[in-house]
Amino acid sequence: MTLKTETRHAIDPETARGLDTEGLRRHFHVGGLFTPDEIRLVYTHYDRLILGSAVPVARDLVLDHVRETGTPGFLDRREAAFLNIGDAARITVGGKAHDIGRGEVLYVGMGAGPITFSAPGRFYILSAPAHRSCPTRLIRREQARRVEMGAAETCNQRVILQFLHPDVCESCQLLMGYTQFSPGSIWNTMPPHTHDRRMEAYLYFDLAEEQRVFHFMGQPRQTRHLIMANEEAVISPPWSIHCGAGTAAYTFCWAMAGDNVDFTDMDMVPMEALR
């Protein structure tokens, strides 16, 4: 079987407060992605966002029927985005081939049909329910919206590349992109924020094997941490902050689903409010 799907239920912040490390990881940390010749999906009950991976090596991988969605085809009532974190490869959707380089994103609209992933791509999968069909589109790095943030003195100089963003590519509710650091900068999203209107998921990648990112979550006055290795993901509930510091440089893909697609709609948490 080349498709493995796991379900994560949504939990409330009071329940999350009482969890130990293992419990927090069971609910919010996602390991085991990027297994060769498999499609792995995590169906979350946070805005029904699905995240996962497809790593075709010896053969093409096809994403079509996923029992958890209750529809004959995966994209019948959903939209998706695929980020290639591997070498240049091909994704075929509805008979059309898209050559997708490293760091590029393919947006696929509702109803586009089965998706075929070809080697040597290493694909991060994101999908959310959709209510209409937006055009399928390959987005190159230079087409993404660039937002420069932070400073070297605060170890958080970084560029946010926004791919699924209203100014770049139309979607129903998926907003996504990735953030890359300048050498010596390791802090993402500090000071942090919440956005109760949208959940978020992070995938940490381009992190050296022996390095880790300390990812922070929880309500602003009840913070917890999760230790993340390369190519591991974390689910951020709408009530949670999401930020992190690495022991070395890394890149992370952020993705959101929910009530709006306004990237700047955040409730900033001043550092003095954190506990």
Ligand X SMILES: O=C[C@H](O)[C@@H](O)CC(=O)C(=O)O
Nearer to Zn ion, 87 or 267 (CB): 267
Is 225 flagged in the annotation as binding?
no
Exposure of 12 in the CB half-sphere (CA atoms within 13 A): 2
Residue 50 interacts with, from ligand X, Zn ion, none (CB under 5-8 Å by kind): none
Is 165 flagged in the annotation as binding?
no
Q: Shortest gap between Cβ of 264 and Zn ion (angstroms)?
A: 10
Segment interacting with Zn ion (CB under 5 A) among 92-100, 120-128, 200-208, 214-222: 200-208
Q: Shortest gap between Cβ of 151 and ligand X (angstroms)?
A: 13
Nearer to ligand X, 57 or 149 (CB): 149
Nearer to ligand X, 117 or 163 (CB): 163
Is 195 flagged in the annotation as binding?
yes
Nearer to Zn ion, 67 or 221 (CB): 221
Q: Shortest gap between Cβ of 266 and ligand X (angstroms)?
A: 6
Q: Shortest gap between Cβ of 167 and Zn ion (angstroms)?
A: 18
- State the Cα–Cα distance between residues 133 and 23, nearest whole angstrom: 38
Judged by the rule CB under 6 A, the positions of this chain that interact with ligand X are 149, 158, 160, 179, 188-189, 200, 242, 254, 266
Nearer to ligand X, 88 or 152 (CB): 152
* Mode of pairing for the β-strands spanning 115-117 and 89-93: antiparallel
Is 210 flagged in the annotation as binding?
no
Q: Say how far residue 129 (Cα) sits from the centre of its chain.
A: 15
Nearer to Zn ion, 138 or 159 (CB): 159
Residue 219 interacts with, from ligand X, Zn ion, none (CB under 5-8 Å by kind): none
DSSP output for the chain: --EEEEEE----HHHHHT--HHHHHHHHEE-S---TT-EEEEEESSTT-EEEEE--SSS-EEE---GGGTSSSTTTTEEEEEEE-SSSEEEEETTEEEEE-TT-EEEE-TT---EEE-TT--EEEEEEE-SSPPPPEEE-GGGSEEEEE--GGGT--EEEEEEESTTT---SS-EEEEEEEPTT--EES-S-EE-TTEEEEEEEES--TT--EEEEEEETTEEEEEEE-TTEEEEE-TTS--EEEESS--EEEEEEEES---TT--EE--GGG--
* Interaction pattern, residues 143-182, with Zn ion; x per rule: CB under 5 A: ----------------------------------------
Q: Shortest gap between Cβ of 98 and Zn ion (angstroms)?
A: 28
Residues of this chain that interact with Zn ion (CB under 5 A) are: 200
Binding residues for Zn(2+): 193, 195, 200, 242
Residue list, annotated binding site: 193, 195, 200, 242
